[in-house]
């Protein structure tokens, strides 16, 4: 007989909760060690020990050491927000709103700003993390390209759409790095706005 599980609520079971706790334990331990002695000077074994799990478990949760810092949980949020936009809206406007909502949501939880600041500091200073960031942005770009292609009724391999999304994400990544390098002095939403303005008007002049 074909296995037909009784559709357990996501996030319900003890198993799920345990996984979330382990994930957080690893991340917390890692961040603490990164602050203390720096990213590259911290070995994965040490993170594992500090989080009280085995090294293999660390890799089960995070495919690379850099992903402990990055680990894109934003993607699904942006995707949902983008899909929720009205059909006729111009792409860049849809993205603007989707991104604004995502940022808002990310800053919602109380300890978020602290964590984001730590993350920004690492992105700004550790080259291998920046490298991985660019990779993950490329993935995000692919995902958004698919959504946008679907919304506008084009094929996702369409050159024009790819270039469009590549440009938007390239611009926004630079904006993000700008924030990372000046996180104390700038307002994220303001930078996002200025970046989108450049994308809208500035490329022609």
Cβ 43 to DNA, closest distance in Å? 4
Distances (CA, A) of 154 to 16, 75, 98, 129, 157: 38, 22, 21, 34, 9
56 binds, among DNA, a copy of itself, none (CB under 5 to 8 A by kind): DNA
Distances (CA, A) of 184 to 39, 102, 116, 195: 21, 21, 11, 18
174 binds, among a copy of itself, DNA, none (CB under 5 to 8 A by kind): a copy of itself
State which of residues 134, 150, 154, 189 lies at the interface with a copy of itself (CB under 8 A). Answer: 134
* 15 near DNA (CB under 7 A): yes
Site track for a copy of itself across 148-187, x = CB under 8 A: ---------x-xx-xxxxxxxxxxxxxx-xx--x------
Structure tokens at 125: 């200073």
Nearest in space to 161 (alpha carbons), one of 145, 141, 139: 145
Site track for DNA across 29-58, x = CB under 7 A: -------------xxxx------xxxxxx-
Give the angle 190-68-11 at the CA atoms, nearest 5°: 90
């Amino acid at each position: 007989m074909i296995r037909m599980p009784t559709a357990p609520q996501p996030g319900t079971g003890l198993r799920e909760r345990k996984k979330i706790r382990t994930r957080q334990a690893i991340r917390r331990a890692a961040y603490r060690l990164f602050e203390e002695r720096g990213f590259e000077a911290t070995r994965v074994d040490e993170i594992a020990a500090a989080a009280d799990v085995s090294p293999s478990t660390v890799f089960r949760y995070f495919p690379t050491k850099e992903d402990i810092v990055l680990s894109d949980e934003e993607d699904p949020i942006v995707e949902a927000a983008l899909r929720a936009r009205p059909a006729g809206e111009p792409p860049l406007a849809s993205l603007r709103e989707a991104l604004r909502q995502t940022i808002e949501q990310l800053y919602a939880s109380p300890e978020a700003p602290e964590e984001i600041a730590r993350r920004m500091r690492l992105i700004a200073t550790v080259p291998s993390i920046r490298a991985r960031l660019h990779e993950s942005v490329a993935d995000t770009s692919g995902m958004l390209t698919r959504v946008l292609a679907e919304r506008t009724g084009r094929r996702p391999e369409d050159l024009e759409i790819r270039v469009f999304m590549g440009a938007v994400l390239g611009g926004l990544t630079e904006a993000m790095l700008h924030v990372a390098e000046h996180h104390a002095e700038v307002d994220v939403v303001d930078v996002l706005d200025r970046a989108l303005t450049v994308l809208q008007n500035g490329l022609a002049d």
